[in-house]
Structure 1
């Protein structure tokens, strides 16, 4: 089944709140004939756009190929949260790779947030960076860990932008009976993801990147140079960078063994008043909770609650996305059980077994960076910078990320979906216990 078209129309953004309120870009032409460049980037999301931008600013001749529209995939549909740290917390990373390597990963994660915050200042990026993410514990037994984790980051990592929230302060900040405590991280934040992606595309244009849309890659011939084949066009390049994330399909079987697509869903309510917004979620922070299938939410500039929750592992989106998301929304905010929902949409992201990015060299001049597992606004942005550094001969950060162990999904591309469904059903049940 074709993930690029099974839930969406060719050349069109989904009917999301973001697409309805974005400042659009005119469509880019499809490629024709034989093209040549220094670097061909496949994928027009955060990772691909960031890679192309960084390389063009270094003087490389860059072609970027996007099968649909720039920002069409998860980059333009997600919750917009720009979280600190990696997708795994530092305790888990220290167990996985040791303290020294974990500290390097923490530094890289901090740099990813700084990069998004800095890029948001560009006049070409018409999206504000808003400070603050609340991590909300949906089980009382998780609260002691939140307190100790704050102390760990304060004392061992020198990170003083995060603080602990007890039950009373959590209820004051997030007017929901569902949470028992948590943390507030003012070093993290949130942004309109599609506006950010379109802004990166404008920055790429200004830097001289040749962007093509409707440019679906059929195969890549590895070699020196590499050759990228499309319908009606070929691109010959010294380097190729792959950044398709959940939309990889069968373009590379080795990446597909490590990165798997899943679907996630978001709704946008009718606009509220500023006072109604403040009564639900104070100070325009974003929230992500402790469930394995995370609930995440924030407010839009026009005071709509943007609420994401629930996942599915079949290729097709449900017929009534709004009804599917309304259930967790009502569990978190019972007072909104009948709220009007104006927009409901889904998207496909790429996850890995351990939820850490899959960063690898497929050959000496072909790089793949994907599997950001819901943490892509920050990490996919920085991954593009890291890919550009590696091509320019500075591979230190690339190697730090690439050395993180990343297991293959059991069962291979054919059996991984039913196995994942069984595992996710178990974790979903655990969330309720």
Structure 2
């Protein structure tokens, strides 16, 4: 049997295989009344629960699956810098002052995540460095300008330009033409962070429940004294405020969020340790490329290549994730054609039309946060904290994201998926030509 035909654990992520037995948390059993109810147990929801509980606010959180089964425990693990767009791109849309504010917010998010993990003893396998590389020629000036603008206009001196030679040396492949290297950020084991975050929220006094799916949200009455009901098959949460932190897994729960946040499938494979291939990302950084249907890859602490990129613009996984990702690995690293793939998995990522976060009060007392569009490891954690700050009156920095203009996807729920699929298939074709 060739190495590439070795059996893999279908859908079991390398993260899950290496994190050990995840702690189990109870299912909601009966109705509860709290100050804040949270729907969704990913980074945003658990950070909000932790910070609210720490501030003395009674809070209950429900998660439809196990903590870590969603995007927060299965993502690419790259922290990035700034927002989803480069700062100079965002500046063209919203002006320098607002772009700088959002850039600085993202840096605050980065510091918060690093300090949070350190202060709570969460070893999230942090490894430094990230590269953003161009898959087409002719973009040297654009990438060089990005490094210069980051330093001169945004006070961020950690980005340097890489020509084709340096890009090839640092990636271990000649498949890319230039890039930028960011030494002020890095990448992590996302499930280790999520497991630690659930532990910390629980220890702070937040009531957190797994395997408890929300089935509806209702107001008892409008005006003062009205409560919000979050219904489940296991009981009802009655609260003054509700945070929807389901991101790509909103389903039919709340129509405004589902009209603005679209689930897309993204898939990752892990190779066996590459001890015989020291030229592949010798510095251990993460990388992502310039394709619209982006490819992202990095080294793990135990020297595996984690490679993602086969985005699928629907909620269904492909029949053969491993072979689909293998084709992309071999296109980038031909020498790895017979390297064993030990794990392959997928999940949904929440995107918005402009690839910017969706933060909105979708009904009185109900705030929805999501749509991080593949840039959420830092921002989703920080948004959970900012929501808690807003509730407790500490700060209103979340307003900077709420002010972004996020249009709904066209066509409604019935037509938005096929329309988006057609549009993004066109962009994928452009990537290849």
Cα offset for 1:124? 4.1
The residue number in structure 1 matching 2:28 is 31
For residues 31-65 of structure 1, what are the alpha-carbon distances to aligned partners after superposition, in whole Å with 9 as ceiling and x for unaligned? 12121111111101111111111111111111110
Per the alignment, residue 376 of structure 1 pairs with 376
Counterparts of residues 50-69 of structure 1 (less than 5 Å): 50-69=47-66
Q: Contact (CA 8 Å) 2:36, 2:59: kept in 1 or not?
A: yes
Asked if 1:146 is matched to 2:148, the reply is no
**How many residue pairs get matched?**
419
The 2-side partners of 1:50 and 1:206 are apart by 13
Q: 1:252 aligns with which of 251, 254, 260?
A: 254
- Structure 1 residue 393 corresponds to structure 2 residue 393: yes
**What is the DSSP-based 3-state SS (H/G/I as helix, E as strand, rest coil) of the residue aligned with 1:314?**
coil
The answer as to whether partners of 1:42 and 1:241 remain within 8 angstroms in 2 is yes
Q: Deviations over 1:355-379 (max 9, x none)?
A: 0000011234211100011111111
Give TM-score scaled by structure 2 length: 0.94
Is 1:185 the equivalent of 2:182? yes
Matched, 1:158 2:155: yes
- For the residues of structure 2 that align with 1:76 and 1:428, how far apart are their CA atoms? 27
What pairs up with 1:189-200 in 2 under 5 angstroms? 189-200=186-197
TM-score normalized by structure 1?
Answer: 0.94
Q: CA RMSD in A?
A: 1.4
Contact 1:120-1:128 within 8 A present in 2 as well: no
Contact 2:88-2:149 within 8 A present in 1 as well: no
Moved over 2 A (4+): 23-26, 393-396
Q: Following superposition of structure 1 onto structure 2, how do residues 29-428 of structure 1 map, counting pairs within 5 Å?
A: 29-222=26-219, 224-273=226-275, 276=277, 278-428=278-428
Contact 2:11 2:343 survives alignment (8 Å): no
Q: Distance in 2 between matches of 1:236 and 1:60?
A: 14
Whether contact under 8 Å (2:358, 2:370) holds in the other structure is yes
1:98-118 Cα offsets, whole Å, 9 max, x none, are 111111111111111112222
The residue aligned with 2:6 is: none
User: CA separation of 1:293/1:193 partners in 2, compared to 1, >3 Å: closer, same or farther?
Assistant: same
What is the CA distance between 1:92 and its match in structure 2?
2.1
**Is the CA contact (8 Å cut-off) linking 2:63 and 2:211 kept in structure 1?**
yes
Q: Displacement of 1:89 after TM fit?
A: 1.4
Whether contact under 8 Å (1:124, 1:203) holds in the other structure is: no
SS at 1:81 equivalent = coil
- Alpha-carbon offset, residue 394 of structure 1: 4.3
SS in 2 for 1:171: helix
Residue 282 of structure 1: CA displacement? 2.1
User: What is the CA deviation profile of residues 55-95 of structure 1, one whole-angstrom value per residue up to 9, with x for unaligned ones?
Assistant: 11111111110000112101111110001110011122112
Which residue does the alignment assign to 1:6? Answer: none
Displacement of 1:152 in angstroms is 0.8
Task: Please give the secondary structure, in 2, of the residue aligned with 1:199.
Answer: helix
Tell me the distance in 1 between the aligned counterparts of 2:248 and 2:369.
11
Q: Which runs of 5+ in 1 are unaligned?
A: 1-12
Instruction: Give the whole-Å Cα distance in 2 for the aligned partners of 1:29 and 1:185.
Output: 41
1:4 equivalent in structure 2: none
**Structure 2: distance between partners of 1:156 and 1:367:** 33
CA distance in structure 1 between the partners assigned to 2:396 and 2:238 by the alignment: 27
Cα distance in 2 for partners of 1:411, 1:63 equals 35
Moved more, 298-307 or 114-123: 114-123
Gaps of 5+ in 2: 1-9, 221-225
Aligned-pair CA distance for 1:264? 0.5
- Structure 2: distance between partners of 1:143 and 1:209: 50
| Structure-2 separation of matches of 1:169 and 1:255 | 43
| 1:194 Cα deviation from its structure 2 partner | 0.5
Say if 1:82 and 1:191, in contact at 8 Å, map to a contact too.
yes
Change (3 A) 1:287 1:422: same
